[in-house]
Structure 1
Amino acid sequence: MGLLFLVLNFAWASDLSPVYFSKFKESSFSAAEIKELKKFKVLLVPGVLAESFDSQSGNQIKVGFIFEDAFHEQKVLLTKEKIDFSFVAIDTESPVEVNALTIISEIEKSQKPVLIYSHSKGGLDTLEALRLRPELVSKVHGWVSVQSPFWGSEVASLMYDNDFLRQTGKSLFEWMGGSAKGMEALTIKERSRYMDSADVRSVIKSLDKKLLNYASYKPNAFGVDTPLEIFRNITQDLTGNNDGVVSLKSAMMKEHGLNVNYVVEKNVDHLMTMTKYRPDKLDFLQKYRAKYDQQRNTMTLLKMIL
């Protein structure tokens, strides 16, 4: 009976990739879509290390000499269209239960229902917020999780299982203002335990079609084709297709018998949805860099959860 339940649940999740690619061809929001969007507040929830890509943050590690600010393109898009939004100011290296409180506050203080666009660990923080306060699901009109490691990261697990790498990782998280628990929360063991809990599954079920999982992968190619080359290749050997940080299996709930629709996009790594490489710094990646349109990605996903 358990196996039958799993199979049936798996079948209910729909691959909306064709819809995504069709809408991706549209160059702008329609007037009707803008009118609809203005009924909601968009919450942008960042993931691990996002503060390192923010020139205004107090993070100890800054990579602005190579990358543009995180979510810059999303902010430009929403500002241009005069759509109400908030960039949720969380300490991205902190544990999910800490960041969840900030997300709860953002949802509560919004005068409108919210549309949530979460990246990477921001999806885990968002899920914890709704687990802690399941009544807030009624205020969430739609949520797209972008490249979120719901079932953990193979690289994080490898680091955590090695004494030297674990201590190094913990020190790094703490140095950036987070905690060792923030790193542990990304391991496969910890995430599997969390995702299998009854209250988490109940919240996911209550979200129903409000939730859309977006996952991507970057196949290996000759030479360095992504700044995440090493991590992508390690994860590829361990579990198959991934975006350099998160495997498809971890990002898509349908892989674990949950009725959540999904989109899969090829040739998109974990950084391409939230930042851009500065053209004068990484010349060898220019051809790769020019292939992706962050604003159109965000616009398309927002259209799909309206």
Structure 2
Amino acid sequence: MDDAALARHLSGTRVLLCYGLLGEVIAGLAPVGMDYMGGQLAWLTGLGVAVQVVKLPTAAPVGVNAGRIAAAILSDPRPALLVGHSKGGLEALAALLVPGMAARCHGFIALQSPFFGSPVADLLLARRPVLMAVHHLARLSRLGTGRGLRDLTTPARQGWMRAHAPQVAALTAGLPVVTLATELRAEGHDWRDGLYRPLARWMQGQGAGPNDGLVPVASALLPGARQAVLPGCHRALVARGPGRDPVGVLRMALGLILAPA
């Protein structure tokens, strides 16, 4: 679907962007060359689409931020389309399970979200000094309490998914949902992929399978959703760089959302 067609289909719909952990910090570094969903935000704005970033303290618990996303959905009578990256996708999913929220939305796109948890979160949580440092840094930076890290662990996420399996199945049956995962491969073009390779190898050794350096592919694909696996590290779908096309990725995902089932 080309840009003009997308703009027509999205007329009257608000696109709500939900950042992942520390996303607001990375986005704030745009003046020094960092990019985090900035190209996607600018592209949607240029199409004339009503788009906004939901203000989230991204280190806060998933349930707390889900309430903020639900409030953003209710703040305007126009239907919403949610786009969440990483932890933001978990919070968007939880918001959509609030009674009445899915009916106010036209779709949900999750980019690299650890629906079934991240072994990296397990590793960090097992090291109390690291956990305390994250907790205090989050509080000082007003990003939340840091307790949101616990919500990313595999026990927490798998428990949540089991408890909400019927609701998630009903959601994906009634609302267009697209989940995109990434796999860090040897032929990566961006030097930043190399920063994730040690973790990617460690996760492979732990039996997590193909992954993007933070999230296993299997964890990022929501049952019942339209799915795709793309190459790259954990920021490959939201940050510009060599071999990356975050706008193209979002264009493709929106096309899947808007296409007939």
> Would the aligned equivalents of 1:214 and 1:263 in 2 still touch at CA under 8 Å?
yes
Q: How far is the alpha carbon of 1:64 from its aligned partner?
A: 5.9
One-letter amino acid of the counterpart of residue 230, structure 2 = E
Aligned to 2:48: 82
Alignment correspondent of 1:179: 145
Answer whether contact 2:184 2:197 (CA < 8 A) is retained. Answer: no
For these two proteins, the number of residue pairs brought into alignment is 253
Match of 1:233 in 2: 201
Shift of 1:109: 1.8
Aligned residues of 1:155 and 1:234 also touching (Cα < 8 A): no
Kept in 2: contact 1:54–1:64 (CA 8 A): no
Give the alignment partner of residue 167 of structure 1, picking from 132, 137, 141.
132
| Runs of 5+ consecutive residues of structure 2 not aligned to the other structure | none
Q: Distance in 2 between matches of 1:37 and 1:76?
A: 15
Could you tell me which of 54, 69, 80 is aligned with 1:103?
Answer: 69
Letter in 2 for 1:300: M
| Pair 1:161–1:76, CA change in 2 (3 A) | same
How far apart, CA to CA, are the structure 1 residues paired with 2:192 and 2:22? 22
Could you tell me whether the CA contact under 8 Å between 1:155 and 1:245 is conserved in 2? yes
| C-alpha distance in structure 1 between counterparts of 2:88 and 2:64, whole Å | 12
1:247 aligned residue:
216
Partner residue in 2 for 1:291: 243
Instruction: State how far apart, in whole Å, the 2-side matches of 1:171 and 1:291 are.
Output: 36
How many Å apart are 1:220 and its aligned residue?
4.2
- Distance in 1 (CA, whole Å) between partners of 2:113 and 2:92 is 10
Structure 2 CA distance for aligned equivalents of residues 236 and 52 of structure 1: 29
Partner of 1:154 in structure 2? 119
Question: 1:302 is matched with which residue?
Answer: 254
**1:40-78: per-residue Cα shift (whole Å, max 9, x none)?**
1111111101012122xxxxxx5864523x211011111
Shift of 1:224: 7.3
Distance change >3 Å, CA 225–CA 43, structure 1 → 2: closer
Over aligned residue pairs, what C-alpha RMSD do you find? 2.2
Q: Which residue of 2 aligns with 1:270?
A: 234
Shift of 1:226: 2.8
Equivalence for 1:134: 99
In our comparison, the structure showing a higher alpha carbon Rg is 1
Deviations 1:110-165 (A, max 9, x none): 2221111110000111122123x221111111111110011111111011123333
Q: 1:43 aligns with which of 7, 12, 16?
A: 16
Q: Distance in 2 between matches of 1:232 and 1:66?
A: 25
Q: CA deviation at 1:104?
A: 0.7
CA distance in 1, matches of 2:169, 2:33: 37
Q: Percent same amino acid among aligned pairs?
A: 27
**1:285 corresponding residue in structure 2:** none
* Runs of at least 5 residues in structure 1 that lack an aligned partner in the other structure: 1-22, 56-61, 277-288
1:144–1:211 CA contact under 8 A, matched in 2: yes
Report the TM-score, using the length of structure 1 for normalisation.
Answer: 0.76
TM-score (norm 2): 0.88
